[in-house]
Amino acid sequence: MSQDYPHASVNFRSPAALEWLDAISESNAIFSAILAVIHPNLYEAGWKTTKHLRDTPEIGSPHVLSRWASVFSGVSVISNRITPPHRDLSSRHNWYDILATSGTYRDCHLELPGLGITLEYGPGTVVGLSGKALEHAVPSFVGDRVCYAYFMRDNVHEWARVAGSDWMYTKYYKSE
């Protein structure tokens, strides 16, 4: 029986794709560092999974994996789109996604309908949330908006045989 290996969902053969990957490497590292603060155990699980991917030659694309400066399995780039209410079903309830926005837009809100909460969601906002547990939406905005949605995929962690971490608890921050 052959082993099914994860693969990139984007073709990184073009120089422009590799340039983009290099251009976002600092942001990838920053958002990984934010995860290290808000959910250290998930950060550690993401790091172990990323390392396992890099150490598996059958994955291929070492030039891509060596440039992937993130503990997240992937990133979606959402440009000038509203986002209907949804949950991210390929994750786990206790995992955090990072949403980061940029652009020249206004009148934008991140809605969490199940909690009855609406947050201002202007340029430069970074939000960590459980995308599987919390329904979320961005119903409208005015201007040009980009959202980078960083996430981890359950199937990648399962393939790597890395435990996906538990819920985040405040006890992780208390010193003895």
Residue 34 near residue 129 (C-beta atoms within 8 A): no
The contacts of residue 154 (CB under 8 Å, 6+ apart) are 90, 91, 92, 164
Neighbour order of strands in the sheet with 109-112: 83-86, 136-138, 109-112, 117-120
Cα 161 to Cα 77, 123, 151, distances in angstroms: 28, 37, 18
- Residue 7 pLDDT more than 60? no
pLDDT at 143: 98
Determine phi and psi for 162, rounding to 5 degrees: -110, 125
pLDDT at 164: 73
Overall average pLDDT of the 102-108 stretch: 98
pTM score, whole prediction: 0.86
d(CA 99, CA 27): 12
Overall average pLDDT of the 4-32 stretch: 79
pLDDT at 166: 77
d(CA 45, CA 47): 5
For residues 173 and 43, which has the higher predicted lDDT (pLDDT)? 43
- Residue 1 pLDDT more than 50? no
Q: Which of 8-17, 115-124, 136-145 has the lowest mean pLDDT?
A: 8-17
Residue 122 near residue 147 (C-beta atoms within 8 A): no
- Residue 94 pLDDT more than 70? yes
- Residue 33 pLDDT more than 50? yes
- Residue 159 pLDDT more than 70? yes
The letter for the amino acid at 117 is I
Cβ-in-10-Å burial (0-12, 13-18, 19+) of 86 comes to exposed
The contacts of residue 59 (CB under 8 Å, 6+ apart) are 5, 6, 7, 53, 65
pLDDT at 21: 86
The count of other CB atoms within 10 Å of the CB of residue 120 is: 9
- Which domains does the chain possess? 15-71+154-164 (no CATH), 75-150 (2.60.120)
